[in-house]
């Protein structure tokens, strides 16, 4: 399994290197007076990809926190209901015909 991971990582690194070498054309970026830059196109693509990964991770963390709060709330509710059930005395159940 470790060999498979190593092969996958090597393929990804090879893709990144060849992508970078083939996309070196400069891209001019300007935003009013804040910045004027010439950057290679692969840098722009990798930065956007990285920002997307970070944002997706943040959204995933927020969703995970929301779900963990919901789980804790439901666990508290279960405990409360179990305590209520243990305090209630069992009443005899009448079955069959009384006749």
- Mean per-residue pLDDT for 83-92? 74
* Residue 45 belongs to domain spanning: 2-75
The answer to whether the CB of 42 falls within 8 A of the CB of 20 is yes
6 domain residue, yes or no: yes
Residue for token pair 């990809």: 49
11 domain residue, yes or no: yes
What's the pTM? 0.65
Residue 93 clears pLDDT 70, i.e. is over it: no
83 domain residue, yes or no: no
- Mean per-residue pLDDT for 65-80? 96
* Residue 61's pLDDT band (cuts 50, 70, 90): very high
The count of structural domains within the chain is 1
Please provide the average confidence, as pLDDT, over all residues in the chain: 89
Beta bridge partners of 30: 36
């Amino acid at each position: 399994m470790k060999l498979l991971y190593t092969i996958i990582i090597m393929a990804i690194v090879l893709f990144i290197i060849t992508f970078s070498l083939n996309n070196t054309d400069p891209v001019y970026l300007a935003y009013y007076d804040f910045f004027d830059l010439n950057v290679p196109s692969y840098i722009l693509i990798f930065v956007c990809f990285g920002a997307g990964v970070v944002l997706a991770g943040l959204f995933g963390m927020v969703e995970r926190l929301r779900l963990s709060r919901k789980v804790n709330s439901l666990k508290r509710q279960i405990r409360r209901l179990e305590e209520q059930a243990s305090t209630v005395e069992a009443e005899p159940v009448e079955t069959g015909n009384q006749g």
